[in-house]
Amino acid sequence: MDFLEIVGQVPLKGGVEISGAKNSALPILAATLLSQQEVKIKSLPQVVDIKAMALLLQNLGANLEWLDPNTLQISAKSLRHTEATYDLVRKMRASILVLGPLLARFKECLVSLPGGCAIGARPVDLHLKAMQQLGAEIKIEQGYIHAKAPKGLKGNDILFDKISVTGTENALMAASLAKGITRIINAAKEPEITQLCAFLQSGGVEIEGVGSSELKIRGVENDALNLKDIQIIPDRIEAGTYLCVGAITNSQLKIHRIIPNHIQAITDKLIEIGFSLDIQENSIEIYPAKKRQAFEITTKEYPGFPTDMQAQFMALATQCLGTSVIEETLFENRFMHASELQRLGANISLKTNIATISGSTELTGSDVMATDLRASSALILAALVAKGVSRVHRIYHLDRGYERLEDKINALGAKVARLKEK
């Protein structure tokens, strides 16, 4: 198992190019199961979750060819299986995304209950209820979801009691081959959903209300779609993370290949803290702040402040003047990084879903353990400003969602080494 050794308080300067968005790539990879035409997907990030999804598609019988490290050609014309087995699905929660396309195209499938980060309950009930509203019969037996719709799926209203990104994505993919019109009410509005809609529209699916909380889908009454090639949008969470690298080290950094309006909640907060930003069409440059002020954050669904950035801002809060408050409203048990930041010297108190962070704290290098994907990046941020050497263990979480993170940070001047545990 690998760990990262980080020398703190090293000056940083330069630029970073943002990779394709993992959270857009995963549903788009799953959606290729709907296509009878070969599809080329560009700007795929080389991260563990993408490789796991590619392996799952291959296991289902899709033909895959990597044309370069970030471009994958997929043909799902002659799938052999409709069973997503436990040994593949357990590796990541996003595997549930194959449920909608397999059920829509083949009228029956068997999908193992998924794995992934240990962040709260994250139940799959919303996915199952959506499939049932389209006419599917669902049984859960021995850890597997058995879904079938012998006469095919039929358009209907799907009302999500709670906003769900992957639930919306599964419903969209299932509805794309359902007969008639489906309305998804209380749909998620993330940019990743918008890109999935564009991908499905390229195959002939009519979708109204893209980018809003109500989507209207007219299914294609064929056995499959003819999807077109696509390039994955830049990763807004990776972009936000590297802006936080600049913010916590108070460095001048330029972030390339981004869509600034996807991260407005993040840039607005950085400006409020005291940073100057030069925002261009596809880049943002952050400049050192004379004074970094404490702040308050409440995580919300897009376009609100993303839950996937609260850990990084908790690390940043340790270096701001005054007391910062972070309220997590979307997931339970998502402050596991707080105790690890405390090992570096952070002054953090927790009360249910609210974290209070006292700033202007001198951090000291130590051994810390990553508990999930975004927590691992928060620990790296803190280690960059800690006095001495830090070691971040269990970075397999990091490898699930960040492409070549240590290479990108080292290119800015950092001293980060990937080493093997003894």
Q: Which residue positions form the known binding site? A: 22-23, 93, 122-126, 308, 330
Find where tokens 């790539």 sit: 25
Residues 10 and 30 in one domain: no
In a shared domain, residues 238 and 226: no
pLDDT digits (tens, 9 = 90+) for 27-76: 999 999 999 999 999 999 999 999 999 999 999 999 999 999 999 999 99
Domain residues for the domain of 329 are 2-19+234-420
* Number of domains the chain contains: 2
User: Is beta strand 347-351 parallel, antiparallel or unpaired with respect to 296-298?
Assistant: unpaired
Q: Which of 117, 197, 244, 320 is catalytic?
A: 117
Three-state secondary structure call for residue 184: strand
Tell me, yes or no, whether 220 and 270 share the same domain: no
One domain for residues 145 and 258: no
The binding site for UDP-N-acetyl-alpha-D-glucosamine comprises 93, 122-126, 308, 330
Strand order of the β-sheet with 83-84 is 83-84, 108-112, 144-148, 137-141
Examine the domain organization and report whether 83 and 111 are in the same domain: yes
- Rounded distance, CA 398 to CA 49, Å? 11
SS3 at position 157: strand
What span, in angstroms and rounded, lies between the C-alpha atoms of 36 and 34? 7
Query: Six-digit token pair at 264?
Result: 């407005």
Q: Which sign does the torsion angle of CA 48, 114, 164, 54 carry?
A: positive
Return the closest-CA partner of residue 165 out of 189, 201, 145: 189
Q: What are the tens digits of pLDDT across the range 89-145?
A: 887 888 999 999 999 999 999 999 886 544 455 578 999 999 999 999 999 998 899
Residues 177 and 105 sit within 8 Å (Cβ to Cβ):
yes
Q: Are residues 298 and 179 in the same domain?
A: no
Strands 296-298 and 323-327: parallel
Q: Residue 78 CB: number of other CB atoms within 10 A?
A: 9
Same domain, 137 and 109: yes
Predicted local confidence at residue 88, as pLDDT: 86
CB atoms within 10 A of CB 394: 18
Please check whether residues 59 and 197 belong to one and the same domain.
yes
Per-residue pLDDT of 295-305, as tens digits, reads 999 999 999 99
Please state the residue numbers annotated as binding site for phosphoenolpyruvate: 22-23
Quick one: pLDDT at residue 306? Answer: 97
pTM: 0.96
**Cα 52 to the chain's mean position, in Å?**
14
Q: To which residue do tokens 């979708």 refer?
A: 207
Neighbouring residues of 347: CB distance < 8 A, sequence distance ≥ 6: 318, 357, 358, 361
Domain boundary among the residues 216, 231, 246 is at: 231
Q: Look at residues 190, 213, 231 and tell me which one is the last residue of a structural domain.
A: 231
pLDDT score, position 117:
42
Question: How far is residue 315's CA from residue 324's CA, in Å, rounded to a whole number?
Answer: 11
Output the domain CATH number for residue 190.
Answer: 3.65.10.10
Residues 333, 367 within the same domain: yes
Both tokens assigned to 193:
């959903």
In this structure, are 197 and 257 located in the same domain?
no
Rounded distance between C-alpha atoms, residue 402 and residue 413, angstroms: 18
Those residues of the chain that have pLDDT short of 70 are 115-122
H or E element in which residue 45 lies: none
Question: What's the confidence (pLDDT) of residue 122?
Answer: 52
Query: Does residue 117 sit in the same domain as residue 264?
Result: no
Give the CA distances from residue 244 to residues 103, 235, 271, 403, in Å, rounded to whole numbers and listed in that order. 41, 14, 12, 17
Same structural domain, 318 and 348: yes
Does 117 participate in catalysis according to the annotation?
Answer: yes
Query: Which residue blocks in 274-386 are alpha helix, DSSP H?
Result: 310-317, 337-343, 373-385
Domain boundary, last residue among 199, 231, 263: 231
Predicted confidence at residue 118, as pLDDT, reads 45
- pLDDT of 121: 52
